[in-house]
Amino acid sequence: MEPVIQVKNLSKKFSNVLAVKNISFSVHSGEVFGIIGPNGAGKTTTIEIIEGLQVQTRGSVQVLGLDPKKNVSKIREQIGVMFQHTELQRKIKVWEAVDLFSNFYSHNISVEDALHRLNLEPYRNHYFSQLSGGWKQKVLLTLATLHAPKILFLDEPSAGLDPNSRRDLWHLILLLRDQGTTIILTTHYMEEAERLCDRIALINHGKLVGLDTPESLIAHLTKEKSLIIQGESIDLTELKALPSVMKAVPSKEMIRLTVTDFQKASFEVFSLATRLNWKIDDFRYDRGTLDDLFAQLSTEKEGML
């Protein structure tokens, strides 16, 4: 896949603070690329430089082969952005908003097609303020995509939505991805990142600390592998004595085992259970999640990773 965004040795300094430190990555055409990190990590600054809203102190950025510093107008014809916490005018009707935004672009855009694409027809005459959070996000997504952008930036798209609206929105995002739109997603919902992203860039303290698929990131960066076991008459001392078990900690009715190797530890646990007649009710691998990784990132000090 060809890169649609190339970021090389990007740095941004605000007075005495280096917010972004020598970051490099590329985003391929048609992928959902996540950028995650704690608040203040530098991800918004990085994205705003790519969008042409800020200018870098050092390094280079190419978006669809164009430099955002020099070609911001051309880039804005080809990208869409859905910001977090955006409101339209309270008394603008849905169709009026779509019609207004469609006139900002040089090529002709059909308002009816745009309304149809995200099933907004039943709400076309509703005021924006009358819509639920989920429908507001759909309207904003429509406005960000009505010019068929090649790259779509989504900033916390499902913040504040209920689970059903969130899943609806995810479905639409994946639909756009399937239609060939490259999507850059920032989110604090790690489930969202795991579900949607093909690759994720982890940013912390202004540095890129990881860049891979969600599965590989979890595997490489979560330091512990755990097994969860639950059952009757399980003896904690026996479990602790197993060669592959580093730690065994009871938690409510379960026991969490920190192990060196999933396969060996599983074999040892089941052999022991069979030999000692334990009745196992639940047994799970816990490889960690992006949530664990995010929590780990948030508490780590600069330079630890």
Partner 1 sequence: MKALMKMTAVEMKLFFRDPQSLFWTFLFPFITIYLLGFLFGGSQVGNVAYKQLLIPNMMALTLTSTSLFILGMRIVNYKESGLLRTYQITPLGAGRMIGAFCIMGLVVFLFSMLIAYLSGWLLYGIRTPVHIIGFWGATLLCTLGMFPLGILLTGFSSTMEGAAGIGTLALNVQLLLSGGVIPYQLLPLPLPLKILAKCLPLHYVNDLLTAEWTGQSVNFLSLDVGILAGMAVLFSVLSIRFFRWS
Residues that bind partner 1 (CB under 8 A): 51, 53, 73, 76-77, 79-81, 83-89, 91-92, 96, 99-101, 103-106, 140, 143
3-state secondary structure 195-253: HHCCEEEEEECCEEEEEECHHHHHHHHCCCEEEEEEEECCCHHHHHCCCCEEEEEEECC
Minimum CB separation from partner 1 for residue 30, in Å? 21
Residue 155 or 192 with smaller CB distance to partner 1? 155
Minimum CB separation from partner 1 for residue 73, in Å? 6
Minimum CB separation from partner 1 for residue 87, in Å? 4
133 Cβ contact partners less than 8 Å away, ≥ 6 residues apart: 160, 161, 162, 165
β strands within 83-174, DSSP E? 151-155
In contact, 85 and 59? CB cutoff 8 Å = no
Minimum CB separation from partner 1 for residue 72, in Å? 9
Minimum CB separation from partner 1 for residue 81, in Å? 4
Residue 81 or 248 with smaller CB distance to partner 1? 81
**Cα–Cα distance measured from residue 177 to residue 33, given in angstroms and rounded to the nearest whole number:** 11
**Cα–Cα distance measured from residue 159 to residue 186, given in angstroms and rounded to the nearest whole number:** 11
Minimum CB separation from partner 1 for residue 88, in Å? 6
DSSP annotation string for 242-290: STTEEEEEEETTEEEEEES-HHHHHHHHHHHHHHTT-EEEEEEEE---H
Q: Cα–Cα distances in Å, from 67 out to 8, 37, 151, 208?
A: 12, 25, 15, 21
Amino acid at 155: D
Minimum CB separation from partner 1 for residue 143, in Å? 7
**Cα–Cα distance measured from residue 52 to residue 69, given in angstroms and rounded to the nearest whole number:** 6
Helix (H) or strand (E) holding 11: strand 3-14
Residue 48 or 192 with smaller CB distance to partner 1? 48
Residue 76 or 240 with smaller CB distance to partner 1? 76
Residue 24 or 110 with smaller CB distance to partner 1? 110
Residue 88 or 273 with smaller CB distance to partner 1? 88
**Cα–Cα distance measured from residue 256 to residue 265, given in angstroms and rounded to the nearest whole number:** 12
Minimum CB separation from partner 1 for residue 84, in Å? 8
Residue 97 or 234 with smaller CB distance to partner 1? 97
User: For residue 248, what are its two tokens?
Assistant: 């065994």
Residue 53 or 241 with smaller CB distance to partner 1? 53
